[in-house]
């Protein structure tokens, strides 16, 4: 449980370090794709959560016990008050995640893994960490397995869409600046005798 708890807490460090690491390693386009996919993912997750609001597994336990058992769960009393409008604001240091379905923790686990995947030295470490973080969304984040699957699916769609938007946005920005767009690097050719 301690390992799962520590993996759950890597959400913000991974989110902040991934684009910086990619940019520092010269993977600027991949860094841009990660940031774009995260923005798309948060937008999609927020819309889905608004249409299909869920309180997660914490709702089965009741308001007092759920907050003690799940470190990432917003107290149910506060969650219900925010949703029905009786509570208009909550200090950020007192609130946990508000979105249960789809899981943003699982979505970020996917996005970070997909962004780092081409870096062979980090690939398996990041995959292992994010597999554990995905499991910890159930044990520490009050998510159901379907929340996790939905989060992974939203992330996959977002990452793919961001990959499709990348070349288009580069051309659009270049036209706005009046600059020529650099062509994509050609694939290496293999000489056969």
Half-sphere exposure of 18 (CA within 13 A, CB side): 30
Which one is predicted more confidently, 101 or 73?
101
What average pLDDT does the segment 136-163 reach? 89
Res 116 pLDDT > 90 = yes
Per-domain residue ranges of the chain:
2-177
> Considering only CA atoms, which of 35, 8, 188 is closest in space to residue 109?
8
pLDDT tens track for 30-68: 999 999 999 999 999 888 877 776 666 655 555 555 444
């Amino acid at each position: 449980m301690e390992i799962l708890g520590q993996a759950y807490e890597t959400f913000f460090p991974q989110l902040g370090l991934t684009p910086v690491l990619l940019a520092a390693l010269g993977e600027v386009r991949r860094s841009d794709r990660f940031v774009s996919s995260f923005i798309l993912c948060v937008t999609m997750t927020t819309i889905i959560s608004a249409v299909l609001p869920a309180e997660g597994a914490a709702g089965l336990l009741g308001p007092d016990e759920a907050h003690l058992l799940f470190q990432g769960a917003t107290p149910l009393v506060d969650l219900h008050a925010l949703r029905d409008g009786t509570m208009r604001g909550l200090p950020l240091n007192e609130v946990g995640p508000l979105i249960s379905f789809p899981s943003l923790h699982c979505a970020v686990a996917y996005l970070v893994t997909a962004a780092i995947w081409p870096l062979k030295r980090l690939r398996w470490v990041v995959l292992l960490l994010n597999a554990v973080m995905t499991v910890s969304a159930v044990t520490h984040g009050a998510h159901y397995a379907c929340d996790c699957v939905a989060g992974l699916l939203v992330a996959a769609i977002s990452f793919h869409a961001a990959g499709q938007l990348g070349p288009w946005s580069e051309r659009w920005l270049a036209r706005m600046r009046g600059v020529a767009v650099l062509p994509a690097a050609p694939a290496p050719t293999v000489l056969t005798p």
